[in-house]
Amino acid sequence: MFTGIIQAVGRIKAREARGGDARLLIDAGALELADVAEGDSIAVAGVCLTALDIGAGSFAADVSAETLRLTTLGTLAAGDTVNLEKALRLADRLGGHLVSGHVDGVGEVAAVHDDGASQRWVFGAPPALMRYIAVKGSISIDGTSLTVNTVDGSRFGVTLIPHTLAMTTFGTRKAGDAVNLEVDLVARYVERLHARPA
Protein backbone atom coordinates (compact mmCIF):
# COMPACT_ATOMS: atom_id res chain seq x y z
CA MET A 1 0.00 0.00 0.00
CA PHE A 2 1.00 3.60 -0.67
CA THR A 3 -0.25 7.08 0.24
CA GLY A 4 0.00 8.86 -3.10
CA ILE A 5 2.49 11.35 -1.65
CA ILE A 6 5.35 11.27 -4.16
CA GLN A 7 8.78 10.98 -2.54
CA ALA A 8 10.98 11.57 -5.59
CA VAL A 9 11.04 11.82 -9.36
CA GLY A 10 13.15 9.11 -10.95
CA ARG A 11 14.28 8.45 -14.49
CA ILE A 12 14.31 5.34 -16.65
CA LYS A 13 17.97 4.49 -17.26
CA ALA A 14 17.39 1.45 -19.45
CA ARG A 15 14.70 -0.91 -20.66
CA GLU A 16 15.44 -4.53 -21.50
CA ALA A 17 12.95 -6.74 -23.34
CA ARG A 18 12.48 -10.17 -21.74
CA GLY A 19 10.14 -12.13 -23.96
CA GLY A 20 6.84 -10.29 -23.64
CA ASP A 21 7.97 -8.80 -20.33
CA ALA A 22 10.48 -6.04 -19.63
CA ARG A 23 13.07 -5.14 -17.02
CA LEU A 24 13.36 -1.46 -16.17
CA LEU A 25 16.48 0.03 -14.63
CA ILE A 26 15.42 3.12 -12.70
CA ASP A 27 17.54 6.00 -11.44
CA ALA A 28 15.87 6.70 -8.08
CA GLY A 29 16.77 10.40 -8.02
CA ALA A 30 16.41 11.73 -4.46
CA LEU A 31 14.61 8.57 -3.23
CA GLU A 32 16.57 7.13 -0.30
CA LEU A 33 17.17 3.43 -0.94
CA ALA A 34 19.19 2.56 2.20
CA ASP A 35 16.10 1.08 3.87
CA VAL A 36 14.84 -0.73 0.75
CA ALA A 37 15.46 -4.48 0.60
CA GLU A 38 15.32 -6.80 -2.39
CA GLY A 39 11.66 -7.66 -2.91
CA ASP A 40 10.23 -4.48 -1.37
CA SER A 41 7.52 -2.61 -3.24
CA ILE A 42 8.05 0.77 -4.89
CA ALA A 43 5.33 2.58 -6.83
CA VAL A 44 6.66 3.66 -10.22
CA ALA A 45 4.27 6.09 -11.98
CA GLY A 46 1.60 4.69 -9.68
CA VAL A 47 2.32 1.03 -10.50
CA CYS A 48 3.38 -1.24 -7.63
CA LEU A 49 6.64 -2.93 -8.68
CA THR A 50 9.11 -5.17 -6.87
CA ALA A 51 12.55 -3.62 -6.31
CA LEU A 52 15.44 -5.78 -7.54
CA ASP A 53 19.20 -5.32 -7.96
CA ILE A 54 19.24 -2.33 -5.64
CA GLY A 55 22.39 -0.30 -6.13
CA ALA A 56 23.75 3.15 -5.38
CA GLY A 57 20.83 5.35 -6.33
CA SER A 58 19.08 2.90 -8.64
CA PHE A 59 17.01 -0.27 -8.73
CA ALA A 60 15.57 -2.62 -11.30
CA ALA A 61 12.02 -3.91 -11.66
CA ASP A 62 10.51 -6.64 -13.79
CA VAL A 63 7.26 -5.68 -15.52
CA SER A 64 4.88 -8.32 -16.85
CA ALA A 65 3.33 -8.20 -20.31
CA GLU A 66 -0.06 -7.61 -18.64
CA THR A 67 1.20 -4.53 -16.79
CA LEU A 68 2.96 -3.22 -19.89
CA ARG A 69 -0.31 -3.53 -21.82
CA LEU A 70 -2.61 -1.98 -19.20
CA THR A 71 -0.47 0.93 -17.95
CA THR A 72 1.78 3.65 -19.31
CA LEU A 73 4.83 1.55 -18.39
CA GLY A 74 4.46 -0.10 -21.78
CA THR A 75 5.51 3.13 -23.51
CA LEU A 76 8.34 4.16 -21.18
CA ALA A 77 11.79 4.58 -22.71
CA ALA A 78 15.23 5.54 -21.42
CA GLY A 79 15.19 9.15 -20.23
CA ASP A 80 11.50 9.25 -19.27
CA THR A 81 10.71 10.52 -15.77
CA VAL A 82 8.52 8.68 -13.27
CA ASN A 83 7.00 9.42 -9.87
CA LEU A 84 8.38 7.22 -7.09
CA GLU A 85 7.05 6.25 -3.66
CA LYS A 86 8.18 3.56 -1.25
CA ALA A 87 5.54 1.34 0.34
CA LEU A 88 3.65 2.65 3.36
CA ARG A 89 4.78 1.53 6.82
CA LEU A 90 2.21 1.23 9.61
CA ALA A 91 3.86 4.07 11.56
CA ASP A 92 3.81 6.49 8.59
CA ARG A 93 1.46 9.43 8.23
CA LEU A 94 -1.29 8.91 5.67
CA GLY A 95 -1.03 12.31 4.02
CA GLY A 96 -2.85 11.36 0.81
CA HIS A 97 -5.22 8.38 0.59
CA LEU A 98 -4.81 4.60 0.46
CA VAL A 99 -3.33 3.70 -2.92
CA SER A 100 -2.76 0.06 -3.89
CA GLY A 101 -0.55 0.60 -6.93
CA HIS A 102 -2.96 -1.50 -9.01
CA VAL A 103 -3.78 0.77 -11.92
CA ASP A 104 -7.41 0.69 -13.10
CA GLY A 105 -6.84 2.27 -16.50
CA VAL A 106 -5.00 4.81 -18.61
CA GLY A 107 -6.36 8.33 -18.99
CA GLU A 108 -5.18 11.40 -20.86
CA VAL A 109 -4.35 14.99 -20.01
CA ALA A 110 -7.13 16.91 -21.80
CA ALA A 111 -6.30 20.49 -20.78
CA VAL A 112 -4.20 22.61 -18.43
CA HIS A 113 -5.26 26.10 -17.28
CA ASP A 114 -3.49 28.54 -14.98
CA ASP A 115 -5.42 29.40 -11.82
CA GLY A 116 -3.43 31.92 -9.81
CA ALA A 117 -0.16 30.26 -8.79
CA SER A 118 -1.85 26.86 -9.18
CA GLN A 119 -3.14 25.07 -12.26
CA ARG A 120 -6.43 23.37 -13.09
CA TRP A 121 -5.94 20.12 -14.98
CA VAL A 122 -8.63 18.25 -16.88
CA PHE A 123 -8.26 14.53 -17.59
CA GLY A 124 -10.15 12.18 -19.85
CA ALA A 125 -10.85 8.76 -18.35
CA PRO A 126 -12.24 5.48 -19.71
CA PRO A 127 -16.05 5.47 -19.34
CA ALA A 128 -15.91 2.37 -17.12
CA LEU A 129 -13.90 4.31 -14.51
CA MET A 130 -15.97 7.50 -14.44
CA ARG A 131 -18.60 5.89 -12.18
CA TYR A 132 -15.97 5.72 -9.41
CA ILE A 133 -14.82 9.34 -9.72
CA ALA A 134 -16.70 11.82 -7.53
CA VAL A 135 -16.35 15.50 -6.68
CA LYS A 136 -14.27 15.86 -3.49
CA GLY A 137 -13.24 12.22 -3.79
CA SER A 138 -9.67 11.01 -4.15
CA ILE A 139 -7.92 9.68 -7.24
CA SER A 140 -4.36 8.55 -7.92
CA ILE A 141 -2.85 9.92 -11.14
CA ASP A 142 0.60 8.51 -11.96
CA GLY A 143 0.76 7.60 -8.27
CA THR A 144 -0.09 11.10 -7.00
CA SER A 145 -3.01 11.44 -4.57
CA LEU A 146 -5.29 14.22 -5.79
CA THR A 147 -8.72 15.59 -4.93
CA VAL A 148 -11.34 15.68 -7.69
CA ASN A 149 -12.86 19.14 -8.22
CA THR A 150 -15.16 18.57 -11.18
CA VAL A 151 -16.78 15.69 -13.03
CA ASP A 152 -18.29 16.20 -16.49
CA GLY A 153 -19.13 13.25 -18.73
CA SER A 154 -15.91 11.37 -19.46
CA ARG A 155 -13.71 14.08 -17.94
CA PHE A 156 -12.75 15.19 -14.46
CA GLY A 157 -10.69 18.05 -13.08
CA VAL A 158 -8.16 18.55 -10.29
CA THR A 159 -6.11 21.50 -9.02
CA LEU A 160 -2.33 21.19 -8.76
CA ILE A 161 -0.55 23.53 -6.38
CA PRO A 162 2.99 24.76 -7.18
CA HIS A 163 4.55 22.26 -4.74
CA THR A 164 2.92 19.30 -6.51
CA LEU A 165 4.00 20.62 -9.91
CA ALA A 166 7.59 20.98 -8.66
CA MET A 167 7.83 17.62 -6.85
CA THR A 168 6.19 15.31 -9.41
CA THR A 169 6.29 14.60 -13.13
CA PHE A 170 3.31 16.93 -13.66
CA GLY A 171 5.78 19.77 -14.13
CA THR A 172 6.75 18.25 -17.49
CA ARG A 173 3.37 16.89 -18.58
CA LYS A 174 1.20 18.44 -21.29
CA ALA A 175 -2.16 17.96 -23.02
CA GLY A 176 -2.29 14.63 -24.83
CA ASP A 177 0.01 12.78 -22.42
CA ALA A 178 -1.19 9.42 -21.09
CA VAL A 179 -1.45 8.89 -17.32
CA ASN A 180 -2.11 5.96 -15.00
CA LEU A 181 -5.38 6.17 -13.08
CA GLU A 182 -6.32 4.36 -9.88
CA VAL A 183 -9.74 5.10 -8.43
CA ASP A 184 -10.40 5.23 -4.70
CA LEU A 185 -10.45 1.75 -3.15
CA VAL A 186 -13.47 2.66 -1.04
CA ALA A 187 -15.59 3.30 -4.14
CA ARG A 188 -14.83 -0.19 -5.47
CA TYR A 189 -15.70 -1.91 -2.18
CA VAL A 190 -18.92 0.07 -1.78
CA GLU A 191 -20.00 -1.01 -5.27
CA ARG A 192 -19.13 -4.63 -4.53
CA LEU A 193 -21.06 -4.63 -1.23
CA HIS A 194 -24.03 -2.95 -2.87
CA ALA A 195 -24.14 -5.53 -5.71
CA ARG A 196 -23.80 -8.54 -3.41
CA PRO A 197 -27.07 -10.41 -2.74
CA ALA A 198 -28.21 -10.29 0.89
Q: What is the pLDDT of residues 25-77, one digit of tens each?
A: 999 999 999 999 999 999 999 999 999 999 999 999 999 999 999 999 999 99
pLDDT of residue 190: 82
Residues in the chain: 198
User: Are 12 and 41 in a shared domain?
Assistant: yes
Among 36, 58, 86, the domain boundary falls at 86
pLDDT of residue 82: 98
User: Are 75 and 21 in a shared domain?
Assistant: yes
- Is residue 197 over pLDDT 80? no
Residue 137 in domain? yes
Could you give the number of structural domains in the chain?
2
- Is residue 195 over pLDDT 80? no
Q: Give the domain extent around 61.
A: 8-86
Residue 18 in domain? yes
Residue 94 in domain? no
User: Are 127 and 174 in a shared domain?
Assistant: yes
Residue 91 φ/ψ, nearest 5 degrees: -85, -5
User: Are 180 and 109 in a shared domain?
Assistant: yes
pLDDT of residue 198: 60
Nearest to 61 by CA among 29, 27, 88, 34: 27
Could you read off the pLDDT of 85-140 as tens digits, one per residue?
999 988 888 888 989 999 999 999 999 999 999 999 999 999 999 999 999 999 99
Residue 13 in domain? yes
